[in-house]
């Protein structure tokens, strides 16, 4: 078995040791990825299934159970697991009807220990940090990454340093970072600007960077699609649709799926659908004018879906490759479309955070445009937990939600709380009204 880092840029493909502390190719500046030669796929499906009956911490993890497909660690004692992954596939007939499909299934990453898909990648990135002997780890975050990194770093004896855009992340997420003991800097800048800052600090101070530019985060996030295939007895869906911000997750999904396909674990590639928020959609714009103009970052990204409020996504070259290889598609959705889709997901008894609802809003547009067939087998990824933005939810249901430009968002599927006196007769009247 050989494991190494390789430049993702087709024209370069330089290789580096798996233990080099690198985030970009030193030769050409391209993105890096972990690569492996010599994986034997034959026993894997059975091994993965048997591990579900095992109480050992690593086998109980919905990430490390699949470790043969990201064998970058020699020594598994570096792993810190909070039993991440193990997220359910939930059928949602009402959401399917809303989106114009016969059926849709949600893979709900909000069931993770810190409430988002970031845990799948963070357990892998934190293990690599420990293997490299790093003491301090850092990330910039719109919320979920910070909560996840804080938890895994603290659980593993690393010092977490978090950088967040001041006033632009949900209190729930900030609260998690503080509670898990992270040193937290609120910086007067947006996500993209702070990422540039943190990269300088990481280099200068020898801090290990755990944003999704870190190739080991991507390796861990592959487990989301690996677990999905295991849960579906390796039946490949027609489409997997997910929201796109920094575009790390779609890059991880594409890589994981291609590798499973090359190993013969799955018999085809599903198509990948990425959905961005209208005010923060540089990847959508690029993919729809491809050839005409180079990638243009959005300098002032705006959306209430703060998780995907990213104007200069670092992983766009990988995302482009995965969309093209899978014959996928990219869509953008409005603030109203996100809010309404989110309420429908809530009505299914499932719930999610705003960015996650972009998946369903995007599917609705894909089916209306004939990109996805009504009969298609579609898995939508809900990336984060419903408790992320309770203020957003309350405002939507009471008709007080406003888009970043100040325009009102209609409470289309609103469910207002009812003010009632402490009086059984009056409440009976209200119920019968
Ligand atoms: N959904 C949620 C809930 C997220 O937290 C994020 C990213 C995304 C979607 C977008 O994923 O960046 O891989 O395309 N959140 C980041 C953070 C950036 O800091 O937590 P992506």
188-200: pLDDT as tens digits: 999 999 999 999 9
Q: Which two tokens stand for residue 254?
A: 């594409």
The separation between the first and the last C-alpha atoms of the chain, rounded to the nearest angstrom, is 70
pLDDT value, residue 170: 84
By most ligand atoms within 8 Å of CB, the mutation choice from 108, 164, 245 for ligand 1 is 245
What Cα–Cα distance (Å) separates residue 140 from each residue in 184, 227, 319? 10, 27, 20
Q: Which of 170, 160, 168, 171 is nearest to 198 (CA)?
A: 160
Quickly count: other Cβ atoms within 10 Å of residue 430's Cβ: 13
Ligand 1 centre distance from Cα of residue 246 (Å): 7
CB contact set of 147 (below 8 Å; sequence gap of 6+): 114, 115, 116, 118, 141, 173, 176, 177, 180
User: Does the beta carbon of 353 lie inside 6 Å of ligand 1?
Assistant: yes
Q: 53 C-alpha vs ligand 1 centroid, how far in Å?
A: 32
For residue 236, is pLDDT > 90?
yes
pLDDT digits over 266-283, tens only? 999 999 999 999 999 999
* CA 330 – ligand 1 centroid, Å: 16
Distance CA 143, CA 165 (A): 9
Q: Which of 307, 318, 353, 357 to mutate to test the pocket of ligand 1 (most atoms within 8 A of CB)?
A: 307
- In angstroms, what is the span from residue 22 Cα to ligand 1's centroid? 22
pLDDT at 290 over 80: no
Is the CB of residue 141 below 6 angstroms from any atom belonging to ligand 1?
A: yes
Pocket test for ligand 1, best of 246, 255, 275 (most atoms within 8 A of CB): 246
- C-alpha to C-alpha distance for 389 and 405, rounded to whole angstroms: 19
Binned at pLDDT 50, 70 and 90, residue 326 comes out as: very high
Instruction: Please give the C-alpha separations between residue 422 and each of 260, 415, 428, in angstroms, as whole numbers.
Output: 60, 21, 11
The predicted model gives 299-311 an average pLDDT of 96
Strands 15-17, 2-7: pairing is antiparallel
Q: Is the CB of residue 244 below 6 angstroms from any atom belonging to ligand 1?
A: yes
pLDDT for 169: 79
pLDDT band at 206 (very low <50, low <70, confident <90, very high): very high
- Confidence (pLDDT) at 171: 87
280 touches ligand 1 (CB under 6 Å): no
Nearest to 191 by CA among 143, 125, 128, 262: 143
381 half-sphere exposure, CB direction, 13 A CA radius: 26
CA 23 – CA 30 distance, rounded (Å): 9
pLDDT in tens, 118-153: 999 999 999 999 999 999 999 999 899 999 999 999
In whole angstroms, give the CA distance from residue 127 to residue 418.
49
Residue 1's pLDDT band (cuts 50, 70, 90):
confident
Structure tokens at 386: 């419903």
Residue 331 and residue 338: Cα distance in Å, rounded? 12
d(CA 97, CA 278): 23
Output b/e per residue, 42-59; b: 16+ Cβ within 10 A. eebeeebeebeeeeeeeb
Contact in structure between 283 and 330 (CB atoms under 8 Å): yes
pLDDT at 239: 99
- Distance between CA atoms of 53 and 120, rounded to whole angstroms? 20
Side-by-side strand order, sheet with 89-91: 89-91, 105-108, 378-382, 239-243, 271-277, 329-333
What is the DSSP-derived secondary structure letter of residue 421? -
Tell me the average pLDDT across 221-244: 98
pLDDT > 90? residue 293: no
Overall average pLDDT of the 334-362 stretch:
98
If you average pLDDT over residues 15-43, what whole number do you get?
A: 97
Half-sphere exposure of 296 (CA within 13 A, CB side): 14
Find out whether the beta carbon of 138 lies less than 6 Å from any atom of ligand 1: no
Q: Find all residues with CB under 8 Å of 160, minimum gap 6, and list them.
A: 136, 137, 138, 149, 150, 153, 154, 177, 180, 181, 182, 183
pLDDT at 12: 98
CA distance 222 to 144: 18
Q: Which residue has the higher pLDDT, 113 or 170?
A: 113
Burial per residue of 373-403, b for 16 or more beta-carbon CB atoms within 10 angstroms, e otherwise = eeebbbbbbbbbbbebbeebbebbbeeebeb
116 lines ligand 1 (CB under 6 A): yes
Query: Interhelix angle for 171-179 vs 144-155, to 10°?
Result: 10
Phi, then psi, of 138 in degrees rounded to 5: -140, 155
């Amino acid at each position: 078995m050989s494991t190494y880092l390789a430049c993702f840029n087709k024209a370069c493909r330089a290789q580096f040791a798996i233990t080099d502390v690198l985030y970009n190719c030193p030769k050409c500046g391209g993105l890096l990825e972990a690569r492996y030669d010599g994986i034997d796929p034959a026993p894997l499906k059975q091994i993965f299934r048997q591990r579900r009956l095992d109480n050992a911490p690593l086998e109980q993890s919905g990430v490390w159970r699949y470790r043969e497909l990201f064998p970058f660690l020699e020594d598994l004692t570096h792993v810190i697991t909070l039993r991440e992954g193990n997220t359910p596939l939930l059928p949602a007939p009402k959401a399917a009807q809303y989106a114009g499909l016969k059926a849709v299934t949600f893979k709900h990453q909000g069931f993770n220990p810190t409430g988002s898909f970031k845990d799948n990648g963070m357990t892998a990135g934190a293990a690599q940090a420990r293997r490299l002997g790093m003491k301090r780890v850092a990330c910039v975050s719109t919320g979920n990454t910070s909560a996840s990194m804080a938890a895994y770093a603290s659980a593993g004896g690393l010092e977490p340093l978090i950088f967040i855009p001041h006033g632009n992340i949900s209190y729930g997420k900030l609260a998690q970072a503080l509670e898990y003991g992270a040193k937290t800097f609120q910086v007067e800048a947006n996500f993209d600007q702070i990422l540039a800052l943190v990269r300088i600090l990481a280099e200068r101070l020898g801090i290990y960077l755990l944003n999704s530019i870190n190739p080991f985060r991507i390796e861990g996030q592959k487990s989301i699609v690996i677990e999905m295939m295991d849960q579906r007895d390796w039946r490949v869906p027609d489409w997997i649709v997910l929201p796109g911000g920094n575009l790390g997750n779609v890059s991880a999904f594409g890589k994981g799926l291609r590798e499973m396909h090359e190993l013969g674990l799955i018999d085809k590639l599903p198509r990948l659908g990425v959905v961005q928020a209208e005010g923060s959609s540089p990847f959508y714009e690029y993919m729809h004018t491809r050839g005409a103009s180079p990638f243009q970052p959005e300098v002032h990204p705006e959306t209430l879906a703060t998780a995907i409020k990213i104007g200069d996504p670092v992983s766009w070259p990988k995302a482009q490759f995965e969309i093209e290889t899978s014959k996928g598609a990219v869509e953008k959705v409005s603030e109203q479309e996100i809010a309404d889709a989110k309420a429908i997901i809530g009505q299914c008894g499932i719930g999610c955070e705003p960015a996650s609802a972009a998946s369903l809003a995007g599917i609705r547009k894909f089916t209306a445009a004939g990109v996805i067939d009504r009969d298609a087998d579609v898995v939508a990824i809900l990336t984060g937990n419903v408790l992320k933005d309770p203020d957003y939810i309350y405002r939507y249901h009471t008709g007080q939600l406003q888009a970043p430009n100040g325009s009102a968002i209609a409470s289309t599927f609103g469910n207002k709380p009812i003010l009632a006196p402490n009086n059984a007769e009056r409440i009976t009247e209200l119920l019968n009204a």
